[in-house]
């Protein structure tokens, strides 16, 4: 275990219960050991940016947190409640964890407003009127309320990703996971999505963000977690990580991207 744990005390919220807590999490794909003894705590309201080379396990880490991927051993708890293996309780907990992917994954044959209002009605049992009211507030918040009756293909990539963020927020998640949310976007659309995410962070959302946008990491992250070969190799503040990475692997990574 090579993780730098010097900053983990800052991972605790004042109330004591971390919003995300991973303890000794291991995950294999066949012979490939993709997550190795991961210990990670994210406090309420904290923004953690996950960096690391391609194939280091960043996406798998995200996917285990809402059990899109099962783990082999260890424990993951959201706001103090351990993730159950399966069943109805899992669906409820999964709803607490919003996820936004590189590909926007919107329902192509539903309007933007329908995309945002579907899950609250189906999973939470919200009345349509109420879901639409709440959905419009969210579309305002991400700046695309005037697009509500359009279909995803009629929107720009940046607008689609903001719709995907609104759709995740519609479930009133406790945690938002972002897996390279701007990687599929044309460059001129990256900033509007990052701005939306920065707004969320300012509103106090707990966020785990896999990104290659170093500007966002420097400005918005409370912590940077650097993954390498399925391990958390460093866990520190953005200032410390970017100015004085502690491991050769992180120095090598930064040398390639900066």
> Which residues lie near ligand ADP (CB under 6 A)?
29, 32, 34, 52, 54-60
Give SS3 for 135: helix
Stretch that binds Mg ion, among 15-23, 51-59, 115-123, 200-208 (CB under 5 A): 51-59
Distance of alpha carbon 104 from alpha carbon 162, whole angstroms: 9
Residue 142 or 227 having the CB closest to ligand ADP = 227
Measured from the CB atom, the residue of 32 and 91 that comes closer to ligand ADP is 32
Which CB sits closer to ligand ADP, 22 or 34?
34
Kindly tell me which of 70 and 80 has the beta carbon lying closer to ligand ADP. 70
- For 249, phi and psi rounded to 5 degrees? -65, -40
Crossing angle of helices 112-123/157-169, nearest 10°?
20
Q: Identify what 29 binds: Mg ion, ligand ADP, none; CB under 5 to 8 Å per kind.
A: ligand ADP
Query: Closest separation between CB of residue 49 and ligand ADP, Å?
Result: 13
Closest separation between CB of residue 59 and ligand ADP, Å? 3
Number of helices (H), then strands (E), belonging to the chain: the values are 9, 10
Cα(207)–Cα(175) distance, integer angstroms: 6
- Quote the least distance from Cβ 253 to ligand ADP, whole Å: 11
CA distance 97 to 95: 5
Q: How far is the CB of 104 from ligand ADP (least distance, A)?
A: 18
**Which is closer to Mg ion, CB of 19 or CB of 62?**
62
| Residue of minimal Cβ distance to Mg ion | 59
Q: How far is the CB of 232 from ligand ADP (least distance, A)?
A: 12
60 binds, among ligand ADP, Mg ion, none (CB under 5 to 8 A by kind): ligand ADP
Query: Could you say which residues in the range 53-92 bind Mg ion, by CB under 5 A?
Result: 58-59
Instruction: Say how far apart CA 75 and CA 234 lie, in whole Å.
Output: 21
3-state secondary structure 2-68: CCCCCCHHHHCCCCCCCCEEEEEEEEEECCEEEEEEEEEEECCCCEEEEECCCCCCHHHHHHHHCCC
Number of residues interacting with Mg ion: please give it, by CB under 5 A: 2
Q: Which does 249 bind (CB under 5 to 8 A by kind): ligand ADP, Mg ion, none?
A: none
Smallest separation, CB 183 to ligand ADP (Å): 11
Given the complex with ligand ADP, which of 48 and 138 has the nearer CB atom? Answer: 48
Q: What value does the CA radius of gyration of the chain take, rounded to a whole number of Å? A: 18
Helix (H) or strand (E) holding 223: strand 223-228
Q: Measured between alpha carbons, how far is 101 from 121 in angstroms, rounded to an integer?
A: 22
Residues that bind Mg ion (CB under 5 A): 58-59
């Amino acid at each position: 275990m090579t993780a730098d744990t010097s900053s983990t005390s800052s991972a605790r919220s004042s109330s004591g219960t971390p919003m995300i807590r991973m303890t000794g999490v291991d995950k294999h794909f066949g012979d490939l050991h993709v997550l190795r003894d991961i210990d990670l705590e994210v406090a309420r309201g904290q923004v953690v940016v996950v960096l690391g080379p391609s194939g280091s396990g960043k996406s798998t880490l995200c996917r285990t947190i809402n059990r899109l991927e099962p783990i082999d051993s260890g424990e993951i708890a959201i706001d103090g409640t351990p993730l159950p293996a399966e069943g109805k309780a899992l669906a409820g907990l999964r709803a607490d964890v919003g996820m936004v992917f590189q590909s926007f994954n919107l329902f192509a044959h539903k309007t933007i407003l329908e995309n945002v209002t579907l899950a609250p009605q189906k999973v939470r049992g919200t009345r349509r009127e109420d879901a639409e009211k709440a959905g419009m507030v969210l579309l305002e918040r991400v700046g695309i309320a005037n697009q509500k009756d359009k279909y995803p293909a009629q929107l720009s990539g940046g607008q689609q990703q903001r719709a995907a963020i609104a759709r995740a927020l519609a479930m009133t998640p406790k945690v938002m996971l972002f897996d390279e949310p701007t990687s599929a976007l044309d460059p001129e659309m990256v900033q509007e999505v990052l701005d939306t995410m920065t707004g969320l962070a300012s509103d106090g959302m707990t966020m785990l963000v896999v990104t290659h946008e170093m500007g966002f990491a420097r400005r918005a992250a409370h912590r940077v977690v650097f993954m390498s070969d399925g391990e958390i190799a460093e866990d520190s503040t953005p200032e410390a990580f970017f100015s004085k990475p502690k491991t050769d692997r992180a120095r090598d990574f930064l040398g390639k991207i900066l």
